[in-house]
Amino acid sequence: MSELKPWLKLISARPGRLCIGALLMLAALLSGLGLLALSGWFITETALVGLLLAASLPATINLYVPGGGIRFFAVSRTVSRYLERLYNHDTVLRLLTDIRVALFRELASVGRVRRRELTGAQWLSRLTNDVDALDTLYLRLIAPAALAAFVTLLVIVLPAVLFNSAIASGIALILGVAFLLATLAVYLRTAKVTSRQSDQQESLRTAVIEHLEGFAELTAAGRTGKHGAWLLRQAHQSSSQQVKADCRIGWHQAGSNLLINLAAVFALWSGFALFRSGEISGPVLVLIPIALLGLAEVYGMLPEAFGKLGATQASAARLNRDCREDAFSVAAATTVLPEGAALVANDLAVKYPENAPLFTHFDLQVKTGERVGILGHSGSGKSSLADVFSGLLMPSSGACANLPCAYLTQQTVLFEDTLRANLLLASPSATDAELWRILERVDLAERFRSEGDQLDTWLGSSGSRLSGGEARRVALARVLLSPAPLLVLDEPFTGVDRVTREKITLQIDAWLEGKTVISLAHAPDALPGTDRVVQLGL
Amino acid sequence: MTELQVESGAVKRWLSGLASGNRRWIQGSVAAGTFAGIATIVQMIFLARIVHLGVIEKASSSVLAPLFTGLVLAIVFRAVAQGVQTHLAARCSEQVRRTARRQIHQHWRHRGPLLLGQTSAGSLAREWIDHVDALHGYFARFLPQMALSLIVPLIILVLVFYLDWLAGIFLLLSAPLIPLFMALVGMGAEKLNQQHFETISRLSGQFLDKVRGLTTLQLFGQTDGAAELIQQRSDHYRRITLKTLRVAFLSSAVLEFFASVAIAVIAIYIGFGLLGYITYGPSSDLTLFSGLLILLLAPEFFQPLRTLSQCYHDRAAALGAGAEILARLGDEPAPNPLAGATEDTIDKRLSVSNPLTHRESVELNSVSLALRADHPILRDVSLSIRKGEVIALTGPSGSGKSTLLHLLAGFLTPDNGNIDLFGKQAGSFAFGWLGQSGFLVHGTWADNLRLTSPDVSDVAIETALRNVGLGPLLDSRKEGIFSTVSEDGQGLSGGQARRLSLARIFVADYDVILLDEPTAGLDSDSEIFVLEALHKLALAGKTLIFSTHHYALLALANRVLLVSGGEVTDV
């Protein structure tokens, strides 16, 4: 359970809200129970009085209190249920925000090397599922379980007062077993199955992705059918596990229902003894079993919620792992930046574990205001070198020192937001005029002036409303906007056609006056203007 | 992401198509649910009878004992029926999901590797796994409950009418025709769910967007700003959502209200009837038995509807997931030569190694292809390649080298003309294919090679791996070909992965081997091994066709073809 601790702490940061929500839930549950129990009492009472009246014997009955009570419960059940749902959905949405913000801050503090393994589409979709599992932890599990326990106690106190303590303890025993059956037992019986299923799901996902990546080879070899059938079997196995868990949940639900009903039968049977001896009246005899029958609804949600607890724990454990700090950080040699230099790299090497080094003994000195181009074929380690310059990656040996830099990564990253918001990341205080000026430099001003929303044009997910070249130029504009004295541009013109590329190269030349620029590309014509060119990997 | 809009009618038709294949399970689940409902009714009859006999007629415990036995039996029967119901429902969903996955996989195969490659493997995998799983609740809970919410209340209604027709009318009036009620619940719940799901998915979309760009945010020092933005946006959405929820929850509140009021009205009516205050109608015949029974049945009358309204989010989830799956399935199928063939026949056609027929050459006759209407890639290309020839395709990038390879592989079909490989259709037999990215699966070296050639010997596997220069790596692993490819969670380099793919071709003994830029982006070590391996394959008499710019590969070829301007010419 320890994996849930940080998340429970986060959830319980709103104690007032949780309490009010729980009280509203309690009001709804008690109104439901009260309505049935009081109605049962009332009917029995009237039946007895009716018999006396029919026999012309003197009898009185107070119709106003129970009648009023029944009407009150009917209304309070509706109202409290409505308020409870509204209020608790509000709470869930608030918790959702809390969890996401906290997780985001955690992830932001995790080192880049770790995150590199974590940014695939696969990881992102898993992250969504895992966060979703935690959102409803309070509403589905904690609150209903606590309330069920509380209502159970109330329902046990009732026979203790009205019947006797022996009967009450018998009922308590049966209900205790029913409660355990609906909660802890479900958890114990499904935790292993669901966590196995959750693991299977993960390896299945990997296998499906491998299948799709190798689809051409498999098709050529005529094996897509056989391999696909194997995947189907794996998927089927995983759903069989889920079915197994579902069946167990279902049987536990049925079992706890059975016990609740048996508790009602027990209360009725033992109540008859008291009734015959005149210790209790008929209406009271009926009230308790009917109240007990109403408990079934209170317990209804529990088995399923506890059946998912195993998976929720697994989700929490995965999220905790994702947020784990890097165990090690390489303490690379440091070097001092000499006067007039923008970047000094001494004897750099970058090597990923189990792979040959990308490059070794890389030396570079860049004076302020210099424009340096670095050429290398794909796979030669250009992007890793740029990562080292920008401080995202620690070199495996050597040292690097440089002025503060703005870095255009090889991958174009735009946010699902307005053009303005995307640009302002680099320089939050930039004016609209400045933004237009930089858009002109990258030949995009006309493109966005024609849009109705101008700078507020929505860029869509990952800039999907732009072409690849346009998105690249927005990212380039953003880096150009940055006040940093050193710019590192990794393949700045990916997806930009030759004519535009040449035009932009000319237009940004004046803008870059006084700045130091290091640009990296696979071919000379993909570089903006340079004073000198360095070849990487020769 | 598929932006394709699928009308909800089509999704519903697809879902009911899936259901019809598994009707037995759903019917079984409904039958079990009905039995549980009947057992509940019987339980209430016994309960009311016992109370009536015990309280009014002061019956002794020996009279009550058999009734108590009946009561307990009914309760046990009810629990068993409930258990069986969930059991069958879960099985049903299992079968449905299997069917859906098979459908999607079949569609993948019909689209072929080329079109499939245009969508990210991650999102395809998500559709295949998560979206299909999202169908679970619909089949396991919603569909059976839909039937039960008609059947069970109807049985109860009949019984109540028999006991006291006035109370029956109360029930009927308070649920003014169940279909109307269901529509009401449905509309409210649907709107609610749509709103809720939209909000949640928008929020998670924005959250993921920020997580995806976390490095960029870090580079600009904007992570705090982004966290605040997530907070603000979430809060904004929360407020909007709550506005709609306030209205949407009303529909279920109406159901709740009718249920509560019906119980209250019936309780008061029965009470006054028992007191003899009501002189009109059947109330003079009321006893504690019939009165209590009606009261006990009243909540059971509404319970199935309430359960159904709780299942509505299952339906919304299934409709959402179904729409995305259907948008994918609805993608215009590839003009694949294998389209229309059933799953098994494709494999059979491919795996049976037909003896080579009379034609000992690869023939292209006036083949034309345009990927877009105004943009022909190949124009009227005719070509003859003899068996055992080593062909290099060269030419400027985008000139159609890869397209020509895809045509020969059968991944694409020509608009005009025909392609014939040793008397067989392109793609109708097994051949070697090496794409630009290597491909490996989690598992041992042997697993990786047996993926495409399941029957080869261990020795053949080891030889093949040594042939592509993976020998030293293999020797460094303790269990040889039975050690996992990616030990310690570390993968192979791009070059090693491509050599592994090449080893698959070595071990399989194909007659035709097609390779797309086999040395592009390789380190010099890997390059040498690939060249050597190709040389060995050429010496073994294989027909090799590859696209390349690499001088050493051009030298290896005994015929170089220039693909340019839609034409293919000998150099």
Provide the pairing of β-strand A532-535 with B361-372: unpaired
Residues of B in contact with A47 (CB under 8 A): 55-56, 274, 287-288, 291
Residues of A in contact with B226 (CB under 8 A): 104
- pLDDT of B353: 41
Best residue in B91, B220, B403 for a mutation probing chain A (most A CBs within 10 Å): B220
Residue B338 lies in a domain: no
A80 interface with B at CB cutoff 8 Å? no
Residues of B in contact with A226 (CB under 8 A): 347, 454
CATH topology for the A341-535 domain: Rossmann fold (3.40.50)
Helix, strand, coil percentages for chain A (3-state, nearest 5): 65, 10, 25
Q: Which residues of chain A have pLDDT under 70?
A: 111-123, 125, 325-335, 352-357, 377-379, 460-465, 537-538
Residues of B in contact with A253 (CB under 8 A): 82-83, 86
Sheet containing B416-421: order of strands: B375-386, B361-372, B416-421, B424-425
B566 with B430, same domain? yes
How far is the first Cα of chain A from the last one, in angstroms, to the nearest whole number? 55
Torsions phi, psi of B503, nearest 5?
A: -60, -35
> Could you tell me if the ipTM is greater than 0.90?
no
B24 interface with A at CB cutoff 8 Å? no
A10 interface with B at CB cutoff 8 Å? no
Which residues are B511's β-sheet partners? none
Residues of B in contact with A74 (CB under 8 A): 260-261, 263-264
- pLDDT of B189: 59
Reply yes or no on whether the pLDDT at B44 is more than 80. yes
B429 with B319, same domain? no
Q: Which chain A residue lies closest to B47 (C-alpha atoms)?
A: A265
Q: Which domain holds residue B548?
A: 361-570
B325 with B376, same domain? no
A27 interface with B at CB cutoff 8 Å? no
Per-residue burial over A229-251, b if 16 or more Cβ lie within 10 Å, else e, is eebeebbbebbbbbbbbbbbbbb
Q: What is the CATH number of the domain that holds B24?
A: 1.20.1560.10
Best residue in A98, A127, A134, A215 for a mutation probing chain B (most B CBs within 10 Å): A215
- pLDDT of B348: 42
CA distance A376 to A388: 16
Best residue in B109, B219, B347, B442 for a mutation probing chain A (most A CBs within 10 Å): B219
Please give the C-alpha separations between residue A387 and each of A327, A392, A422, A518, B171, in angstroms, as whole numbers: 20, 5, 21, 12, 72
Q: What is the CATH number of the domain that holds B421?
A: 3.40.50.300
- pLDDT of B492: 67
B452 membership: H or E segment, kind and range: none
pLDDT digits (tens, 9 = 90+) for B326-360: 888 875 444 444 433 444 444 444 444 444 445 67
pLDDT digits (tens, 9 = 90+) for B109-118: 888 888 777 7
- pLDDT of A149: 93
B236 with B147, same domain? yes
- pLDDT of A182: 92
What's the domain count of chain B?
Answer: 2
B178 with B278, same domain? yes
B432 with B312, same domain? no
CA distance B412 to B402: 11
- pLDDT of B70: 94
Last residue of a domain, one of B329, B351, B373: B329
Reply yes or no on whether the pLDDT at B215 is more than 80. no
Q: What is the CATH number of domain A2-322?
A: 1.20.1560.10
pLDDT digits (tens, 9 = 90+) for B391-405: 998 887 667 888 888
- pLDDT of B340: 39
| Residue carrying the six token digits 């030293």 | B472
Q: Judging by beta carbons within 10 Å of its beta carbon (0-12, 13-18, 19+), is residue B284 exposed, middle or buried?
A: exposed
Residue B232 lies in a domain: yes
Residue B472 lies in a domain: yes
- pLDDT of B223: 80
Comparing B314-328, B481-495, B550-564, which segment has the lowest mean pLDDT?
B481-495
Closest CA to A533 of A364, A388, A395, A348: A364
- pLDDT of A117: 54
Rounded to the nearest integer, the mean pLDDT of chain B is: 80
Q: How far is CA A72 from the centre of its chain?
A: 41
- Percentage of chain B with pLDDT > 70? 85
pLDDT digits (tens, 9 = 90+) for A84-115: 988 988 888 888 888 888 888 887 777 655 55
More confident residue, B149 or A61: B149
- pLDDT of B194: 62
Contact between residue A73 and residue A31 where contact means Cβ atoms under 8 Å apart? yes
Q: Where are the alpha helices (DSSP H) in B164-287?
A: 165-174, 178-212, 214-219, 223-275
- Percentage of chain B with pLDDT > 90? 13
Of the ranges A459-463, B54-58, B121-125, the best mean pLDDT one: B54-58
B88 with B29, same domain? yes
For the segment B285-298, the average pLDDT, to the nearest whole number, is 88
Q: Residue A262 corresponds to which tokens in the numbers above?
A: 């048996």
A361 interface with B at CB cutoff 8 Å? no
Residues in contact with A2: Cβ distance below 8 Å, sequence separation at least 6, in sequence order: none
B128 with B233, same domain? yes
- Domain ranges within chain A, ordered by starting residue: 2-322, 341-535
Q: Within 13 Å, how many C-alpha atoms sit on residue A232's CB side?
A: 18
Q: Could you say which of A51, A86, A354 has the minimum Cβ distance to residue B245? A: A86
Q: Is A58 left (phi over 0), alpha (psi -120 to 50) or beta?
A: beta
For the segment B266-280, the average pLDDT, to the nearest whole number, is 84
Contact between residue B122 and residue A125 where contact means Cβ atoms under 8 Å apart? yes
Best residue in A82, A243, A522 for a mutation probing chain B (most B CBs within 10 Å): A243
B237 with B365, same domain? no
B72 with B29, same domain? yes
List all residues of chain B from 185 to 214 with a beta carbon under 8 Å from chain A: 196, 199-200, 203-214
Residues of A in contact with B130 (CB under 8 A): 125, 129
Q: Judging by beta carbons within 10 Å of its beta carbon (0-12, 13-18, 19+), is residue B194 exposed, middle or buried?
A: middle
Contact between residue A68 and residue A19 where contact means Cβ atoms under 8 Å apart? no
Closest CA to B22 of B106, B136, B186, B182: B136
Comparing A326-330, B151-155, B159-163, B300-304, which segment has the lowest mean pLDDT?
A326-330
More confident residue, B480 or A34: A34
More confident residue, B472 or B2: B472
- pLDDT of A260: 94
SS3 labels along B209-229: HHHHCHHHHHHCCCHHHHHHH
